[in-house]
A and B are shown apart, each in its own frame.
Chain A
Amino acid sequence: MANKETMAIRGGRILDPGRGVDLVGDVLIREGRIAAVGPGVAAEAGRIIDAAGLIVCPGLIDIHCHLRDPGFEHKETIETGTRAAARGGFTTICCMPNTEPPIDSRAGVEYILRTAAAQGAVRVLPIGCITRGRQGKELAEMGELAEASAVGFSDDGSPVADAALMRHALEYASAFGLPVIEHCEEPSLSHEGVMHEGWVANRLGLRGIPAAAEEAAVARNIALAEFAGTHLHVAHVSTAGSVKLVRAAKKRGVQVTAEVTPHHLALTDEAVMLAAPVPSGVEGADGSIGLMYDTNAKVNPPLRPAADVQACIEGLADGTIDAIATDHAPHAIEDKLCEFDLAAFGISGLETALGLCLTLTEDVGAHGHAPPHPGHAPLQMIIERLTAGPVRALGLARFVPGLGSLAEGAPGDVLVFDPEAEWVVEPERFASKGKNTPLAGRTLRGRVVATIYGGKVVYQA
């Protein structure tokens, strides 16, 4: 009879954009790996998932998230973060090293891998530090980090301010064939800024972060990568100028890749001042208290105006931007329930990423939050940037052959989702400890039905 080691996902629309697959059929998983894909390939199996009317694609890959573990376990742990990933449709996530202590040693990488193996719902690939202690002073022991299986280097939220050190990091990392992932920000320009410098910041009396703070750093780091001839990955691109710089660099052959977050694709800086629902009993005569300072929309890089959002969407569509990455940044309630200037930067994004990205495939004008953009982004493109794109960007296939695809022999990591189902974002139901999202109460379309990791169902709606 049916093998207990097999699983069949039957009758769905199979999208494997990395390999140009778009067909209706079955996916057969045997012993944790993809065994076959096509019409009628899974007549019998130990477990059968009916995917009629649903999309079946490789499990999503997030190359930029924060698991807060070790050091900030009240915000997130490897266990809760990976459950959030599973709930969001992700089967592989790369975690940033801005923990306490930072992941700048073999022990740190091993801690992540060991804990993920024991408690994690999905695959975790750690990113190590560029500099010791993320201090921006001397290089971390990248060789040891690489041996321990770090998949790249980043100081994450602490940009490497010293240009010479950045040059050396790019050069040194190339010995291990690993990318340097840089949060591009010129600190003297973003100095104490809390949101995008534009009319909303002026309206709210908040200190701005100019687009030029990102663009100056992107330009510098591209110049350094071009000079060094090594791989720079630009984290969370957010401005039109950055997209232009990356596009031009790629055109002249610089080894540069880039990612963008779902929130930078779908929200503008106006989200900071959109009136949120007011608890009953405190509303003024007009039903609101007027302007809002939504700390849940405080994120770095900041949400930008519609023209920048549009440029990011275009960059994503034309391949300038290789991947969508969540920059999942969970925080405790007290980190956000405070003055805007004092609130932590970050959005808890793993569980809304798919729904938010799918807003790009519909007419989003009606939803209010998203900026207008012409035409619809094709579903295939969006899924590509969440699967094959990120694997290509960081070269993850060398760590996990077949990752991000449904090729025979690839990991049995599969996402089944309903592209039409609408659901309301309810942060209190997040698996993540971080309930910090500006999307609370918003209706999104596209619901995860099942997340399968290594042939096992790790989340089912």
Chain B
Amino acid sequence: MVQRATRGKPAEEVRPPEGVDIPTWERRHVLDLDDFSRREMEQVIETADAMKEVLSREIRRVPTLRGTIVATLFYETSTRTRSSFELAAKALGADVVSVAAGASSVQKGESLVDSARTLQAIGADILVMRHRHSGAPYLVAGHVDISVINAGDGWHAHPTQALLDAYTIQQHLGDLRGKKVVIVGDILHSRVARSNIWGLTTMGVQVVLCGPPTLLPWGLRPDHRGNENRALPPVEVDTNLDRAIEGADVVMALRLQLERQQAGLLPSLREYMRLYQVDEERLARAKPSVLVMHPGPINEGIELSPAVAHGARSVIEEQVTNGVAVRMALLYLLAKGR
């Protein structure tokens, strides 16, 4: 049992799930899943399960992190990730400070390092940050003493999304080992895809990437010079969705930024939908138990047909709910683990 003994009257506690040994959590930052062990992934998932129980209570709030200050520093607009973190922090009784670029000295030429140090100086314990430039959380983590959670950086990583995806898959399909997950769409520009590749392969998943060649990263296609894929764990790549989706346990569609067409990467949305939209006909090639996932927000009718997005195999809304539980788990582990 975990509770803060040092302050206030005894409160309702959040019960750590069976087998979760909190003191073994020694990670200070959550920047990506590239260095997560299977055990750590499992620990987050197990803790998230306990948090989900809290969220199902009538009063969805425990004082476990009372006195902890969680700062969110978002340099890129994001409704869902940010509110998910803030709800998670509040459900654990933490105080939340929110800084949005545009509403602060961020717009007045203050550097990223200075902004982060300011939040540390006002007492933040955990800094949740979203940034449009890849690597920004690494810069911050190198210059502050507090914990940093990467809530998405550029094209690089979105570890909390990948953790909630793994959690969601596990809830439905059990052990992830040997499962086939097809990630379809704009892999090149996707931090969700990159973090999922790390997280899912660590859990033993067979990952298949599918998208047009112009939206696949260098080195993942056989025709690239040197054919090196030293960037990421081994994955399969297929530019044909009908083939890739064969026998899939999970189909995860990525958001398509509509400006990719202007950049000359796609001829038209029409053709993209024709070749890469997950519709019912294509979904029929996957396993009957297939899960349809999407990190959101969805471009209605582009990445997924409406029938698939809202159909029986879709777990998209559940991903959102699980996101709060996973973020609670991470805040809890970072605050209490060390």
Q: How far is B156's CA from A200's CA once the two chains are assembled, in angstroms?
A: 11
CB of A3 within 8 Å of the partner chain: no
User: Which of A197, A204, A207, A279 has its CB near the most chain B CB atoms (within 10 A)?
Assistant: A204
CB neighbours (8 Å) of A278 from chain B are 142
- The bracket for how many chain B residues form the interface is 35 or more
Interchain nearest-CB distance for A339 vs B (Å): 4
Complex-state Cα separation, A63 to B35, whole angstroms: 44
Chain A residues with CB under 8 A of B239: none
Interface size, A (range) = 20 to 34
Contacts of A338 in B (CB 8 A): 111-113, 139
Q: Are B134 and A293 in contact (CB under 8 A)?
A: yes
B310 part of interface (Cβ distance < 8 Å): no
Interface SS of A by simple majority: loop
Q: Known A205-B194, A206-B134; judge A198-B29 contact (CB<8 A).
A: no
- Asked whether A199 lies within 8 Å of B229 as measured between CB atoms, the reply is yes
In chain B, residues 20-36, which have Cβ atoms closer than 8 Å to a Cβ of chain A? 26-29, 31-32, 34-35
Name the residue on B nearest A196 (C-beta).
Answer: B218
**Are A289 and B29 touching (Cβ within 8 A)?**
yes
Taking the closest CB of chain A, its distance from the CB of B260, in whole angstroms, is 14
Report how far A225 CA is from B229 CA in the complex, Å: 38
* Interface check A223, CB cutoff 8 A: no
Cβ < 8 Å to A, chain B residues 203-241: 217-220, 226, 228-232
Do B135 and A206 touch (CB < 8 A)? yes
- CB contact between A202 and one of B133, B138, B217 (< 8 Å): that residue: B217
Q: Across the two chains, which residue of chain B brings its CB closest to A197?
A: B218
Please name the residue on chain B nearest to A207 by beta carbon: B155
CB contacts under 8 Å to B, within A144-199, are 197-199
* Interface members, chain B 105-138 (any A CB < 8 Å): 111-113, 131, 133-136, 138
- Indicate if B17 sits at the interface (CB-CB under 8 A): no
Instruction: Report Cα–Cα, A282/B146, bound state, in Å.
Output: 8
List residues of chain B with CB within 8 A of the CB of A203. 230-232
Contacting pair A204 B134 (CB below 8 A): yes
Note all chain B residues with C-beta closer than 8 A to A208: 218
Q: How far is the CA of A339 from the CA of B138 in the complex (A)?
A: 9
Do the beta carbons of B29 and A340 come within 8 Å of each other? no
Which residues on A sit within 8 Å (CB–CB) of B220?
202
Measured in the bound complex, the distance between the Cα atoms of B219 and A340 in whole Å is 22
Q: A205, B226: Cβ atoms under 8 Å? A: no
Question: Is B90 part of the binding interface, using a Cβ–Cβ cutoff of 8 Å?
Answer: no
The reply on A418 being an interface residue by CB < 8 A is no
CB-defined contacts of B28 to chain A, threshold 8 Å: 284-285
CB < 8 Å neighbour of A342 from B29, B133, B217:
B133
**B144 is an interface residue with CB less than 8 A from chain A:** yes
Closest A residue to B190 by CB, please name it. A205
Q: For the complex of A and B, list the 6 residue pairs with the smallest distance between their C-beta atoms, beginning with the closest.
A: A205-B156, A293-B135, A205-B155, A285-B26, A205-B134, A199-B231
Residues of B bordering A, CB below 8 Å: 26-29, 31-32, 34-35, 111-113, 131, 133-136, 138-139, 141-145, 153-157, 191, 194, 217-220, 226, 228-232
Show 26 residue pairs from A and B whose CB-CB distance is below 8 angstroms, ordered by the A residue.
A197-B218, A198-B219, A199-B219, A199-B229, A199-B230, A202-B220, A204-B134, A205-B155, A207-B155, A210-B218, A282-B141, A285-B26, A290-B31, A290-B34, A291-B31, A291-B34, A292-B138, A292-B142, A293-B134, A337-B111, A337-B113, A337-B139, A339-B131, A340-B133, A340-B134, A340-B135
19 new A-B contacts at CB < 8 Å, known A199-B231, A340-B139: A198-B218, A198-B219, A201-B218, A202-B220, A204-B135, A279-B142, A282-B142, A282-B145, A285-B28, A289-B29, A289-B31, A289-B142, A305-B226, A339-B112, A339-B133, A339-B139, A341-B133, A341-B134, A342-B133
